[in-house]
Amino acid sequence: MAGWSCLVTGAGGFLGQKIVRFLLEEKELQEIRALDKFFRPELQEEFSNLKHKIKLTILEGDILDKQCLKKACQGISVVIHTASVIDVVNSIQRETIMNVNLKGTQLLLEACTQANVPIFIYTSSVEVAGPNSYREIVQNGHEEEHRETRWSSAYPYSKKLAEKAVLAADGWTLQDGGTLYTCALRPMYIYGEGSPFLYAQMTEALKNNGILVYNTKLSKANPVYVGNAAWAHILASRALRDPKKAPSIRGQFYYISDNTPHQSYGEFNYTLGKEWGFSLDSSMSLPISLQYWVAFLLELVSFLISPIYKYQPSFTRHLVTLSNSVFTFSYKKAQQDLGYEPLFSWEEAKQKTIQWIGSVVEQHKETLKTKTH
């Protein structure tokens, strides 16, 4: 596909902007369209200052706006769809999450068929696979196990249905008689410089004398560095454009992890933060089974009083399960089919992230100084 063009949705986000930067190095790519609802002014400036031969068009628009999608998809050969509302604590309205994550994906697929876009790559999530129970142990899981989340929480549920829609759309006939090729990538918990989750946890800890509250000792996860998650998307776009590789990739999903050591979320945060004086919460925590039932009671109260009062539980059964499960996956299938190898080693990813956390700490100190003067 000589002289191809690519649309990235969610291009102003944590993962999306990394994908854009990688695309700027791609051969024969003529145009990148970066679509998001909002771009921070400093990112907009950075994008426009990037020295490159490829045309980079910034589009501010809504994933639910059909006209916006029609315009964005015109003349595009590959769509990388990362736009999504991520919410693990149920703080965002269910309707908003379902609309953006599911309806937005369906509208984008329709826009692709009308605009004859032949390739669609979807950023799914490991959460579409579970974990369904904190008692279940999954180590180095793989695609053939066909795991599926049973949670009705808006985020995993919307991502599961959106991924199904994307994979079912493989083979659709385009307006010009061509065929749509699709695939989905399921990254693990993504970390790295700029991570909104890490930022929230570190700033929360800074208000609490540097104590990291998220000390879930029994969980085991394999986080993936943002640079490696972005790189997998580039390889998927190359593979689906390759007539020899495409047939075995179409309609498939892939777990995307890297060589970050498998560890609990608490240990992971401590590894990244200890250099800056962060420490783990050493206070006793409730047994997981008890946390689970307390969460159940809170959800029940929330449901019962919902007609008269909107009560948001501080934690849910889904969050307790997510935070305390042994749930890790291998990237072997992505390695075989996409030629995926992590571009950044654990050491490199760790150093980049630690350095960034240092800047968050400095920023916090500056803010405190300003307040006291």
Which active-site residues does the annotation give? 155
Measured CA to CA, the distance from residue 235 to residue 359 in angstroms comes to: 31
CA atoms within 13 A on the CB side of 2: 0
Which residue from 83, 80, 84 is spatially nearest to 112, judged by alpha carbons? 80
Which residue from 334, 260, 161, 229 is spatially nearest to 16, judged by alpha carbons? 229
- E-strand ranges in 159-318 read 181-187, 190-191, 211-212, 224-225, 252-256, 279-280
- Tell me the three state secondary structure of residue 212: strand
Measured CA to CA, the distance from residue 215 to residue 279 in angstroms comes to: 10
Three-state secondary structure of 259-274: CCCCECHHHHHHHHHH
